[in-house]
């Protein structure tokens, strides 16, 4: 069984996507962003994954699928605010 490290950051973007960031083995950051809705008690119900990408510094690598410009800017802004520069 492979151990999976816990996320290094998670939370909502300005446009309401739920992001989760993980440290990749090569030092980059893997980011997943999901459509979501908040439930009573602060829980988050995750929906469709709209972004799956690796961030190294200011560059997105290995994106899965086509990400529209507004979504890319939203997730990039979240990553800059929640992942330390030293971590990326």
Non-local CB neighbours of 82 within 8 Å, separated by 6+ positions: 9, 11, 19, 21
- 68, part of any domain: yes
> Model pTM?
0.83
Answer for the pair 80, 55: CB distance below 8 angstroms, yes or no: no
Does residue 74 form part of some domain? Answer: yes
Q: Is residue 3 part of a domain?
A: no
Q: How many domains, in total, are found in the chain? A: 1
Establish if 76 belongs to a structural domain: yes
pLDDT computed for residue 45 by the predictor? 87
- 2 pLDDT tier (thresholds 50, 70, 90): low
Over residues 31-70, the pLDDT tens digits come to 999 999 888 887 788 899 999 999 998 889 888 878 899 9
For residue 4, is it within any domain? no
Q: What is the percentage of the chain residues whose pLDDT exceeds 70?
A: 92
| Domain containing residue 47 | 9-82
């Amino acid at each position: 069984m492979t151990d999976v490290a816990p996320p290094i950051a998670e939370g909502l973007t300005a446009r309401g996507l739920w992001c989760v960031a993980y440290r990749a083995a090569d030092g980059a950051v893997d980011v997943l962003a999901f459509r979501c809705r908040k439930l009573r008690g602060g829980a988050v119900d995750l929906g469709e994954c709209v972004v799956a990408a690796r961030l190294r510094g200011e560059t997105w690598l290995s994106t899965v699928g086509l990400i529209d410009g507004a979504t890319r800017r939203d997730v990039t802004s979240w990553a800059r605010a929640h992942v330390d520069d030293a971590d990326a």
